A = this chain, B = another copy of it.
Amino acid sequence: MPLDQPAYHSAATILESFTRVRAASEALARPLSPEDCMLQSMEAASPVKWNLAHTSWFFETFILQPHAAGYRSYHPEFGFLFNSYYNQIGEMHPRPIRGLVSRPSLEDVYSYRAHVNEALTAFLEKADEDALAAVTGLVTLGCAHEEQHQELLVTDLQHAMSYNALKPVVYEDAAADIRHAAPAMTWRRMEGGVCDIGWPGGGFAFDNEGPRHKTYLHPFELANRPVTNVEYLEFMEDGGYDTPDHWLSDGWDMVQREGWRAPLYWRKADGEWRRYSLFGEREIDPHAPVCHVSHYEAAAYASWAGARLPTEFEWEAAASLFPVEGRFMEAGAPRSPAAAPQPQDNELLQLFGDVWEWTASAYLPYPGFAVADGAVGEYNGKFMSGQMVLKGGSAATPADHIRVSYRNFFPPDARWQFSGFRLARDIS
């Protein structure tokens, strides 16, 4: 649920956003065959086709059906097929078998998208002020929702493609050969005290980013950049995956049960570590931030390094001092996390983009948080259990999607997102 419904948005502005976001999803799917768009490699992931359809279902269900008089649904079964976790909307197609939906075809899903686009465009173009006021927040939410699914489209696709023995190259990475050394790791001191945390207003935010509230921070230090591949390799070579000493108990269980020996998508070939991504399988870039590690691995590394992960509050307090700039998804393709640039003064680097940063904070409601009424209220609140907060966005996040108050969340064993981490430590 959006935190505000800014009435001052004009229909033209909204329409421009809507059109841009919808086109961006299709640009991502352009290099993919109908067969590629079917893949579902685990229950937590969804096929590209499902992502494309579900985001349309959102606009259809929450805007067109209740607000656009005379709107005709594209297909009576699509509401069932492309509903996600919206228990209040009615029965839904079981998540684990989303990969079995060969029909409707991808082509049909594109028609569905076009049908929704046309209806929403027509609706917005002729909407009066009241109608506009009623839907502005929902359209903005629908666009933010679709941007979330753009990132998921990429991460889920990479997971599925990683099983393919042909190691498919899906996207071209212009910057693939630009490798330089990362700057040395240094610490930036933060004094703490009572701080304001959460979305300050002015634009869109998800409900879980607020209410803005006070929290108390003790003095701490934050690393100037995320941990890199070469640093993570040292942990691996020092027996990081072989002894329980630095692991959370649940994390060590996963290491043993799943046989973790390296970040996800890493493979040792001819004595050298290589890594699969949608740009193909390549050797590790030593200076890029380590990516595709779980919270457990991040916490174990931090303990091994004599440090810890920052809380989401520490991260946000520090990150608020810097502009939201970084390596994000470009039009039509994600990018590769790469080495940080040289810092200026005591700058914190790569806070935004490159890799999501695991924090030490469980994903819980902020003081005063209340779940919205109705199905839209299912958006975030009911997931506030068993997950950890990640901050800052990644090279697979649309650039205009991220904010300093943005709270992403995944279970601590999740590794298929673009997830890395940055160290923090106490000041005694």
Contacts and interface: CB of A to CB of B under 8 A. Distances in A.
A298 to B, nearest CB: 12
Contacts of A160: 100, 102
Contacts of A257: none
A280 B250 CA distance: 35
Scoring A100, A104, A251 by chain B CB atoms within 10 A of each residue's CB, the highest score goes to A100
Contact of A35 (B85, B88, B102): B102
Interface in A31-67: 33-39, 41
A84 to B, nearest CB: 11
Nearest to A367: B218
Contacts of A38: 35, 38, 102
A251 B386 CA distance: 10
B362 A364 contact: yes
Contacts of A299: 385
Contact of A34 (B35, B41, B215, B361): B35
B214 A102 contact: no
Interface stretch (A162-170, A182-190, A328-336, A343-351): A162-170
A238 interface: no
Nearest to A48: B102
Contacts of A206: none
A176 interface: no
A85 B38 CA distance: 26
Interface string A73-109: 0000100110001011000010001011111111000
A318 to B, nearest CB: 15
Contacts of A371: 303
B164 A100 contact: yes
Contacts of A35: 34-35, 37-38, 102-103, 105-106
A158 to B, nearest CB: 13
Nearest to A101: B164
Contact of A368 (B77, B105, B218): B218
Given A100-B160, A249-B385, A33 B34 contact: yes
Contacts of A364: 360-362
A216 interface: yes
Contact of A194 (B33, B39, B164, B216): B216
Given A163-B97, A166-B103, A248-B385, A426 B368 contact: yes
Given A38-B35, A218-B213, A412-B385, A245 B165 contact: no
A105 B295 CA distance: 36
Interface of A: 33-39, 41, 77, 80-81, 85, 87-88, 93, 97, 99-106, 160-161, 163-166, 168, 194, 213-218, 220, 244-245, 247-252, 295-296, 299, 303, 308, 360-362, 364-365, 367-368, 370-371, 382-386, 412, 426, 428
CB-CB nearest 7 A-B residue pairs? A362-B362, A35-B102, A216-B216, A87-B244, A248-B385, A218-B367, A36-B102
Given A103-B164, A220-B367, 20 more contacts: A33-B102, A34-B34, A35-B102, A36-B103, A38-B38, A38-B102, A87-B245, A88-B245, A194-B194, A213-B218, A217-B367, A248-B383, A249-B385, A250-B386, A296-B385, A299-B385, A360-B365, A362-B362, A385-B412, A386-B412
